[in-house]
Amino acid sequence: MGLVIIIGAGPGISSGVAKKFGKEGYRIALIARNEDKLRQLISELKAEGIDGTYAVGDVANEKSLKQALGKISGEPGEADMILYNPSGASNKDILEQDWDTIKAMMDISVGGYFNLMKMVLPYSLDQNRGKLFVTGGGLSLHGDPRMTALSVGKAAQRNMVQAFQKKVDGTHVHIAQVIVRGYVQPSDDKYNPAAIAEIFWKLFLQKPGEFEHEIIY
């Protein structure tokens, strides 16, 4: 049974991806800070017959993230797919916002992703395979005066994903991001977790030579 790791697990996109890949026969491993929410998500997966496990980890803390990955797999990067899903947000007018908050949110959106890739990419390059995906946000495409921490973090994350894509150019390692431009909720015809999960599944099935690197949805 293959393994899919979802980092920054929650009830939205990550839950939809977990259920989609779980129903396709993959074992699901979730990483997040809140153990109670992780237990709830695993319980929901098991209720649908999906094999799942979890590890508590804070993506903003390199040591914590590394320990969480170590509890899930022996070698960082050996999963069939890893989805980096967390983001840091602070809803406050830009003139009332403070830089420390923006930096803290960027530690989640950008720092955690940077540290994750340094942990898992060497293995993927050595094996010449791997699906390393990211959930991006529409705010990466334009600034927002009330969601500055999130928009700046996602813009920097998008840029870093592009840098890592160039790093693996010519290999069979597939790095891709899905830029979700809408508010994710189950009742939305387009921006619901199940529909977005299908996009990640489409990316997952792509073979070398047909890799897409960014989908703006």
75 pLDDT band, cuts 50/70/90, is confident
> pLDDT by residue (tens digit) across 128-172?
999 999 999 999 999 999 999 999 999 999 999 999 999 999 999
Q: CATH topology for 3-94+114-216? A: Rossmann fold (3.40.50)
**Beta pairing class for 174-180 and 214-216:** parallel
As a whole number, the mean pLDDT across the chain is 96
> pLDDT by residue (tens digit) across 16-71?
999 999 999 999 999 999 999 999 999 999 999 999 999 999 999 999 999 999 99
Q: Where are the domains of the chain?
A: 3-94+114-216
| Residue 87 in this model has a pLDDT that exceeds 90 | no
Query: In the structure, how many helices (H) and strands (E) does the chain have?
Result: 7, 7
CA 197-202-205 angle, to 5 degrees, is 125
Q: Provide the edge-to-edge strand list for the sheet that holds 3-7.
A: 52-56, 27-32, 3-7, 81-84, 131-137, 174-180, 214-216
φ/ψ of 23, rounded to 5, equals -70, -20
Q: How far apart are CA 54 and CA 42, in angstroms?
A: 7
Per-residue pLDDT at 148: 96
Q: How far apart are CA 19 and CA 148, in angstroms?
A: 32
| Residue 76 in this model has a pLDDT that exceeds 80 | no
Percentage of residues in the chain with pLDDT exceeding 90? Answer: 94
74 vs 185, residue with greater confidence: 185
